[in-house]
A and B are shown apart, each in its own frame.
Chain A
Amino acid sequence: MSAVPAAPRPASADVASAHAAPAETAFPLLLTPPRPRGGWRVIPARTWAMCAVELQKLRHDRTELYTRAVQPALWLLIFGETFTRIHAIPTDVPYLDYLAPGIIAQSAMFIAIFYGIMIIWERDSGVLTKLLVTPTPRTALVTGKAFAAGVKAVIQAVVVVALAAVLGVALTWNPLKLLGVVAAVLLGSAFFSCLSMSIAGIVLTRDRLMGIGQAITMPLFFGSNALYPVSVMPGWLKAVSAVNPLSYEVDALRGLLISTPAHLVTDFAVLTGAAALGVAAAASLLGRLAR
């Protein structure tokens, strides 16, 4: 069933060939549909399919990885170095150490928050439409897309960690903790990309999503503990930070990477809950993009 006869092909693939092999025998697998996977295995399988596509695309075109590395690098080099020198922000560890996990979370969020634009682009180009006609539950599709955004964010995080190490930040190299970092970044990105896809499902056009994305990224960033500790915030900003998943992501990353006191259980519980909520919201709004 595996042997495909290596029939000689015409030189130009665009010419309708007079190749007359009997179709029945040439494509046995095109006569038998694959057996459906059952139950719980659907979501992991589809998630992996979406991530695989994302990795393949990145392999073909790495430009995005390089250009995306510029901004976090600038944050660390300029903002980080300057504020380390002027001691404006009271932290227990050197400010650059304090900042590095925040920048990982921030750059991951910036990738994820515009992920909805890609969904709209895929809708307009028909890629999404076609995926919606496959036996893929909406939840699985959204989960797949969410983790595909996470894959990009993890690669981004590797860049920031490497850069921070070069700048002399004392980061952990404990593999278990690094695995935890990957998990936190994946969950955080999953939430923010689902937030973005949900908004995409509501506003339906790229231009509007672009505007909303711009409008919410900075409040999310400054309303978190990415740049400064919660203790120096005014009361109202503390309240914002307490409901901001980015704060929990940063807290977890800090605890894992530079071993500051963190609330890992709460952090991961909040991140998991937020990601699940995001998937549910985005999945229920995704159908609007198909109409």
Chain B
Amino acid sequence: MTAPLQPQPPKSIPESAPEVPEIPESVPEPEAAVRCRGLRYAFGTVTAVDGLDLSVAPGEVFGLLGPNGAGKTTTMRTITTLLPVPPGVIEVFGHDAARQRMAVRRLLGYVPQQLSADGGLTGRENVALFARVFDSPRRERADRVAQALEAVGLADVADRLVSTYSGGMVRRLELAQALVSAPRLMILDEPTVGLDPIARDSVWERINRIRAGTGMTVLVTTHSMEEADRRCDRVALMHRGRIRALGTPDELKGALVAHRREADGESAETAPPTLEDVFRHVAGSGLNGPGADEERGEFRDVRRTRSTASRVG
């Protein structure tokens, strides 16, 4: 990747000193849905997450945004207790992810990046398994499973084998699997990767309707800036294992507009910036352009994304 076009050096507006990322200091609730303090995770010599501070408020849709290899998935996997972290680093609704793993898992619904429903079972059986492993007693299990399937609009096809489902339907089934335990925090890792726009909207429509009913918190990763802009209350832009900017999409774009005015002398009235522009500004490079994190995404991640895409497609 020899790049004649040098990425612009990172300038400084929301660009913060590495130690002090922009966490809103005045979160009113004492108990955040998720709180990370100085989260660090390395695979061997490769540091995937490098000192991340984060606070997700209950009830919001929080987006973790960045290119492949930015550390989003690793962050998610530490919050879900899949990757071990030291005590005191991550709390989910006040429960320490290292010391109270079972308590944390009880609060979580998790949809991984891969299409993870079992094709050899029916939709209903897939959801029932998760009702079982969350100790749903038999007398209410069938109702609980039926309600989860109803909530994602799969009641009609619940008794078909999942191998006959479309990609969008599998994603919604996975939502049902995660919902059946009435989680307070829903963790979605690239929920719409590989889906067509209609299926994408359908997935988000379900998420939002369920959220309206249950008030659950949603933590979502995506590399689609457009999706984050439309769907998230707040976003954190991640780059090379760190948060480079954090705020509502409007705040971030507004800050960039203000900065441009300052820099260029307000005459330069260009098109209103997108989150992608904000990202390019704070990271010093675009998502796909030279200098992007192409060399960082793990091979396995790429393979995973591709196989997801091909199973969906």
Contacts and interface: CB of A to CB of B under 8 A. Distances in A.
Interface stretch (A97-105, A124-132, A156-164, A178-186): A124-132
B102 A2 contact: no
Contacts of A85: none
Interface in A100-150: 124-127, 129-137
A4 B146 contact: yes
Given A14-B168, A290-B83, A29 B135 contact: no
Interface string B78-90: 0011111000000
A46 interface: yes
Contact of A16 (B115, B131, B198, B213): B198
A87 interface: no
B120 A57 contact: yes
Contacts of B198: 14-16
A6 to B, nearest CB: 9
A131 B129 CA distance: 10
Given A4-B147, A60-B121, 9 more contacts: A9-B156, A13-B157, A14-B168, A15-B202, A26-B213, A33-B106, A60-B122, A130-B111, A130-B116
List 10 A-B pairs, minimum CB-CB distance, nearest first.
A126-B116, A23-B213, A126-B114, A16-B202, A49-B132, A34-B136, A33-B182, A126-B112, A37-B135, A29-B144
Interface string B128-168: 01111111110010011011101101111100010000101
B175 to A, nearest CB: 11
Nearest to A126: B116
Contacts of A132: 82
Contacts of B202: 14-16
A129 B117 CA distance: 11
Contacts of A130: 110-112, 116, 130, 177
Interface of B: 43, 77, 80-84, 102, 105-106, 108, 110-118, 120-122, 125, 129-137, 140, 143-144, 146-148, 150-151, 153-157, 161, 166, 168-169, 177, 179-183, 198-199, 201-202, 205, 209-210, 212-214, 304, 307
Majority-rule SS of B interface residues: helix
Interface in A1-58: 1-2, 4, 7, 9-10, 13-17, 19, 22-24, 26-37, 45-46, 48-49, 52-53, 56-57
A207 interface: no
A16 B120 contact: no
A30 B180 contact: yes
17 contacts: A1-B143, A4-B150, A22-B213, A23-B151, A23-B214, A26-B147, A27-B147, A29-B182, A34-B140, A34-B182, A45-B132, A46-B133, A49-B129, A60-B121, A133-B108, A134-B134, A137-B102
